Amino acid sequence: MSLKFDPDALRRLREERGLSQGKLSVAVTGDRVRVNAFECGRSTPTLATIGHIADALGVEYTALITRGEVAA
């Protein structure tokens, strides 16, 4: 098992807080397209960006991490 970014957690937490992707992006990346790519799993944020996202959402970074299978 390995730890990996959880795009579903990002979407759920963002929506629970009533934030649009655009509003979250202002606080994190300045680019709504990047936030969308994170949520859709097309892109993986760096650890630093995960920290910024967590701060913007008011959660620990571990709320955005899940355990995944290691590719063989």
Contact indicator for 36, 64 with CB cutoff of 8 Å: no
Look at residue 4 and give its three-state secondary structure: strand
Domains and CATH numbers, the chain: 2-68 (1.10.260.40)
Tens of pLDDT, residues 1-56: 688 999 999 999 999 999 999 999 998 878 889 999 999 999 999 999 999 999 99
Note the pTM of the prediction, 2 decimals.
Answer: 0.86
Q: Which residue shows structure tokens 């709320």?
A: 63
Q: Which residue shows structure tokens 């990002």?
A: 10
More confident residue, 70 or 12: 12
Q: Could you give phi then psi for residue 64, rounded to 5 degrees?
A: -105, 10
For residue 69, give every residue at least 6 positions away whose Cβ sits within 8 Å of its Cβ, in sequence order, or none.
1, 2
